[in-house]
Structure 1
């Protein structure tokens, strides 16, 4: 793993707890905003089953990647692939760079559109995008320690906020919104899985690009399970309070749930404080994607400085976000096609690496 702050290749080891917090940050930040809209439309009241299925499949893929990491103790999986199969390894690394660019562009556009529609209506969207891109670049240039710091601060805060949101909105809960409980529409449930898996499976790029001695498998498993439970609670609260029919019509139903939080008569816009605590997690997720892209570029071309590539990657993500998606509706429609990319990058290539990097048998030396 490259330390972008120092420009070298040495990085202090991060703990299992920090890996878990990074995984929660990576999965929670953007998914929190639109998970209810994605799942309520197809899986309805059983959207939590779709999400749990995606978590289980991702857990299996994480286990497979962890088995690959064990074969190359202390080495990067992509770098090991390049050493054994130079052409195929570099091709896979380039493909993952484009995949991360696609994710970064889409999520940066989501952040910009949400800020423009909910907070800064009169500010030009181009100005908001430039501010977001500049912030993300500065975070990525800080290196993995900056990203870990963001995770250690804001992830625990959001766990406490989740409890507060559940307590303060419980009076508006309508249990009948989840009825009928046991009438499972499996076609819709699997359709919901098809939509949400690409967002959950993004964590696969985390262990593939981080070197084996810095990535802790237990931290990855814990982060995936904790974030999965966390998002399921948010999904159920949105469906119980806002309602499933309205959730399918709103672009950001979770934000509508947050707007229901009223602490006192004088704090009727408490949602602004919650958004202020949520945006740094999105910046951390975007910064992490750019950080991973810079690392991949350094692995492909070792002479290129990863730190110097952060700013161009951030600018490219911003430009592609504005170019690929003209409005939020296009992003919603793109969720169906995004799953095709997920099958390749989150299932297909990890399985290919699992077999391509199979340990070679040592030749036996015969005496005489």
Structure 2
């Protein structure tokens, strides 16, 4: 079961979008707007960079240990006993993510859509659903996600048009008037969300090409960063930071402000029907990563044997965790980021060094050097790097030099969004170039010699 999973680059990018974005939309925006105020929409650039670094290390691990997942690599690097301790800590971390998302979702359902339904019933139904997917593999979740995430992405980007009659840019002004310290803290808070990218380390065996795997992860991360930036700017432009920072579910209240006609004023139900399947994919991917970690201890290639006991353990743990939404928000905003950094940075540093040392042969390139496609690929890589660096510099320069000028703040904000969008386009072009080169090389091989 564990070695038969094959997921393509597009599925990986869209799953990253579901894993990192959908859980962020429940209540996390409240804490960010409370700290950074009207400049909360600048809170995505540094965590995007951090998630890219994690993705790069995961790609290096794929290159050094092909066919192995992160838990197996940890046993190889650290040994049986020390590796067992490290994997146990990782399982605790995945358990925290699962508990956060499941309890947050059930609290959200109870407060907004199902007030008469006991929280325990909603939690039980949600866990039974992920237990059903726990009998399958990542491929199934990836195919389901392909049906919902593109629609969810398009609806999120269309929010500005749907709320154009309620939007006022004056609620964002003065732009970059918040101190750099508060903007940095808001970026630090968001690291806890983007740290979930480590979940894909449990599925490294599903990738057969490290460069394409990294490009797909990077594209998915930039999708999340750009969409979250746009949604935060819409939230602040419609409600202002004062109201947004006092609501438990600010984005849900924002969607309730959409009114097309007198006959179509419950648009939140339609959008919820698209958001929930994409959110369910996040929980399913986390649960599958948890099962893969459990299977690594018993040497079980078929991790589904742990599905039933693990599911009931998650139910029991979630019932007693985070009694109310403010407790969950405080943990997600202030406790999870240091946990992520303390756990991930030393671990990834060791794994990166060992992966670089263990590379005996260079991986076969997706694109032949010297070709037009290779030059285009390198151009996209450098364009993405320059655009992300320019986004960070735009915030710093705008905050230090132009925060007293209204027009300067507007120009700075436009440059920031343009650079972020350029980085997103460059990542997509990079991913497509690598995939096109891989397909061209595969066609040159003899029939039956290509392993997908």
TM-score by length of 1: 0.91
Residue 338 of structure 1: aligned partner: 336
CA deviation digits over 1:165-216, x for unaligned, max 9?
Answer: 2211011111111111132411211221221111112112313543263571
Residue 152 of structure 2: aligned partner: 158
**Change in 2 beyond 3 A, CA 1:303/1:204:** closer
Residue 350 of structure 1: aligned partner: 348
Matched, 1:237 2:234: yes
Bigger mean CA deviation after superposition, 353-362 or 94-103: 353-362
Secondary structure, aligned partner of 2:344: helix
**2 CA distance for matches of 1:56 and 1:303?**
35
8 Å CA contact retained: 2:29, 2:250 = yes
Matched, 1:18 2:16: no
Matched, 1:320 2:317: yes
Q: How far does residue 78 in structure 1 lie from its aligned partner after superposition?
A: 2.6
Q: How far does residue 356 in structure 1 lie from its aligned partner after superposition?
A: 4.0
**1 CA distance for matches of 2:133 and 2:5?**
18
CA deviation digits over 1:23-67, x for unaligned, max 9?
Answer: 111111111222421210111122222221111122122213322
**2 CA distance for matches of 1:35 and 1:231?**
11
Secondary structure, aligned partner of 1:13: coil
2:132 paired residue among 127, 133, 138: 138
Bigger mean CA deviation after superposition, 219-228 or 327-336: 327-336
Q: Please give the root-mean-square deviation of Cα atoms over the aligned residues, in Å.
A: 1.9
**Change in 2 beyond 3 A, CA 1:209/1:160:** closer
**1 CA distance for matches of 2:335 and 2:28?**
17
1:99 paired residue among 93, 102, 111: 93
Q: How far does residue 292 in structure 1 lie from its aligned partner after superposition?
A: 0.6
**1 CA distance for matches of 2:256 and 2:110?**
17
Q: Which runs of 5+ in 1 are unaligned?
A: 1-7, 363-368
Residue 183 of structure 1: aligned partner: 177
Q: Which runs of 5+ in 2 are unaligned?
A: 361-452
8 Å CA contact retained: 1:297, 1:304 = no
Q: How far does residue 243 in structure 1 lie from its aligned partner after superposition?
A: 1.4
**2 CA distance for matches of 1:311 and 1:174?**
51
**2 CA distance for matches of 1:104 and 1:80?**
23
Secondary structure, aligned partner of 2:95: helix
**2 CA distance for matches of 1:140 and 1:267?**
38
Aligned pairs for 1:216-255 within 5 A = 216-255=213-252
**1 CA distance for matches of 2:178 and 2:245?**
19
Aligned pairs for 1:44-83 within 5 A = 44-83=37-76
Residue 291 of structure 1: aligned partner: 288
Matched, 1:280 2:277: yes
8 Å CA contact retained: 1:290, 1:310 = no
**2 CA distance for matches of 1:206 and 1:9?**
14
Matched, 1:213 2:217: no
Aligned pairs for 1:296-307 within 5 A = 296-303=293-300, 305-307=302-304
Secondary structure, aligned partner of 1:43: helix
Secondary structure, aligned partner of 1:264: coil
> What is the total number of aligned residue pairs between the two structures?
355
8 Å CA contact retained: 1:77, 1:212 = no
Secondary structure, aligned partner of 2:266: coil
**2 CA distance for matches of 1:176 and 1:281?**
33
Residue 4 of structure 1: aligned partner: none
Q: How far does residue 305 in structure 1 lie from its aligned partner after superposition?
A: 4.1
**2 CA distance for matches of 1:124 and 1:222?**
39
8 Å CA contact retained: 2:6, 2:139 = no
**Change in 2 beyond 3 A, CA 1:304/1:158:** closer
**Change in 2 beyond 3 A, CA 1:258/1:358:** same
